[in-house]
Amino acid sequence: CGVFGVFGHPDAATLSYYGLHALQHRGEESAGICTSDNGVFHYHRGMGLVKEVFDRDHMESMPGDRSIGHVRYSTAGESKLANAQPLVFKYRGGDLAVATNGNIVNAPQIRRDLESKGSIFQTTSDTEVIAHLIARSPKELVEAVKDAFAQLVGGFAFLIMTNDRLLAASDPHGLRPLVLGRLGEGYILASETCAFETIGASYLRDVQPGEILVLDKDGLHEERYAPLERRAVCAMEYIYFARPDSDINGINLHASRKRMGQQLAVEAFVDADIVTGVPDSSISAAIGYAEQTGISYELGLIKNKYTGRTFIQPSQELREKGVKMKLSAVRKVVEGKRVVMIDDSIVRGTTSRRIVNLLREAGALEVHVRITSPPFANPCFYGIDTPDRRDLIASSKTIEEIREAINADSLYFLSKPGLIESIGGHEDALNRGLCLGCFDNDYPTQVDFEDAKIGCG
């Protein structure tokens, strides 16, 4: 999911519209904006893309100088309007709006506990849990929020708006990205810096793990609710999820993907006539591979930009149909050629097999697959959509078996050290401050909760 917040700018709703549009790749299922105009909340949510959910009338009906907004893809909780965010609640005679990215691993336990104490839930989204925890606390808002966060286990970025304040927080490991910026006199918060570029805001800094930022009439207050234990930014954000023009912790995504491609060439060079990347996420890496080897980078695959990201569509059947709609091989480019095809990850293996076959049907002589991540053998608990372990092809097959399953002439996965070095990051932190749980089964938090949900709130 993607979140976007504005504090202290007269065009809060319009900025949110453009900001969320820039974050659309983080979730295409639903979108929502909630503004506050002198303490009065106005909001609209709907299923679909930002441009489908909002029209001029909606925008005009949401005055105010502060707002939070959200784009969603469902993993935890069903895909339905009631789960579209921001969620808005009554709170101590006022209102409370919540928008999150990520997943609370112990949400089902907290929820059962709250239900046994009489709480009634309106949605199946784990985000509602946080609102209940806040509402039950007798403390004033910021302390109540800190207490609530201290009970959560997971990876998340939160925006919370009340009638007079806006709060932003990142989980204690900084698994999901969240950045702070400025526009005029106002403050902007966003999942990715690409949203700042879109609205002309300047970047101030990344929200730190365990940090809570409070914006009120006196400005910005920087506080913590948890100590920094182990910094663990999601590696998949770098590999695949975030937009190439974004920076996470000061590291540009395009540049780090390019380094992954260069590193693949160092680790597993194969001679070929052309290099091609699977659009959009792997074009940067393909450029890196080409640069490193001198093999020419070509547009061997074209993506139709009017179909959604395939993994965002919930069912396997839809996902399989999505791939055909989405990609085509460029026959004149690949015909009679030995092709190196770079992709970011192999999850189920369906996509890779289809793409290899597209290239072969278009006349490629050989297809060598190079993947910019290690084998994805373990599920994600922190908001990246992954199937059950049994559906992860790398959990049950060897690399040779995967090569055969995807019909490639050769297959290589970037090594874990190669990935870590390509991304860069904190010199003195474990894995240079990355989470690599889906690759090495070493998760930064406890994950062995009963029915731990695996998804994005």
Of 247-306, which residues contact Mg ion (CB under 5 A)?
A: 278
Here's the x/- map for ligand SF4, 6-45, by CB under 6 A: it reads as ----------------------------------------
The stretch near ligand 5GP (CB under 6 A) out of 32-40, 331-339, 384-392, 394-402 is 384-392
Which residue's entry shows tokens 């970047």? 203
**Strands 202-206 and 179-183, how do they pair?**
antiparallel
- Using alpha carbons, list the distances in angstroms from residue 60 to 14, 66, 140: 9, 14, 33
Three-state DSSP class for residue 451? coil
In the complex, the smallest distance separating the C-beta of residue 281 from ligand 5GP, rounded to whole angstroms, is 5
Q: Would you give the DSSP letter of residue 302?
A: E
- Smaller CB distance to Mg ion: residue 232 or 334? 334
Of 71-130, which residues contact ligand SF4 (CB under 6 A)?
A: none
- Smaller CB distance to ligand 5GP: residue 5 or 155? 155
- Smaller CB distance to ligand 5GP: residue 7 or 238? 238
Residue 382 binds which of ligand 5GP, ligand SF4, Mg ion, none (CB < 5-8 A, kind-dependent)? ligand SF4
Residue 235 binds which of ligand 5GP, ligand SF4, Mg ion, none (CB < 5-8 A, kind-dependent)? ligand SF4
Assess 126 for contact with ligand 5GP (CB under 6 A): no
448 appears as a binding residue in the annotation: no
Residue type, 283: I
Q: Is 1 a catalytic residue?
A: yes
Quote the distance between the C-alpha of residue 148 and its chain's center: 23
Name the phi and psi angles at 308, rounded to 5: -70, 170
Closest CA to 278 of 371, 341, 361, 331: 341
**Strands 251-252 and 247-248, how do they pair?**
antiparallel
Name the phi and psi angles at 171, rounded to 5: -65, 165
Assess 382 for contact with ligand SF4 (CB under 6 A): yes
- Choose which of 281, 372, 378, 445 interacts with ligand 5GP (CB under 6 A): 281
Assess 284 for contact with ligand 5GP (CB under 6 A): no
Name the phi and psi angles at 189, rounded to 5: -125, 140
271 appears as a binding residue in the annotation: no
Query: What crossing angle do the helices spanning 253-267 and 416-423 adopt, rounded to 10°?
Result: 150
Find the angle CA(158)-CA(239)-CA(252) to the nearest 5 degrees. 75
Assess 333 for contact with ligand SF4 (CB under 6 A): no
- Smaller CB distance to ligand SF4: residue 115 or 451? 451
194 appears as a binding residue in the annotation: no
Here's the x/- map for ligand 5GP, 321-360, by CB under 6 A: it reads as ----------------------xxxxxxxxxx--------
- Using alpha carbons, list the distances in angstroms from residue 343 to 30, 110, 267, 298, 439: 27, 38, 15, 14, 16
How many residues bind ligand 5GP (CB under 6 A)? The answer is 17
User: Within 13 Å of residue 362, how many CA atoms lie on the same side as its CB?
Assistant: 22
**Interface residues toward Mg ion, by CB under 5 A:** 278
**Interface residues toward ligand 5GP, by CB under 6 A:** 236, 240, 281, 311, 343-352, 384-386
Q: Which of the residues are catalytic?
A: 1
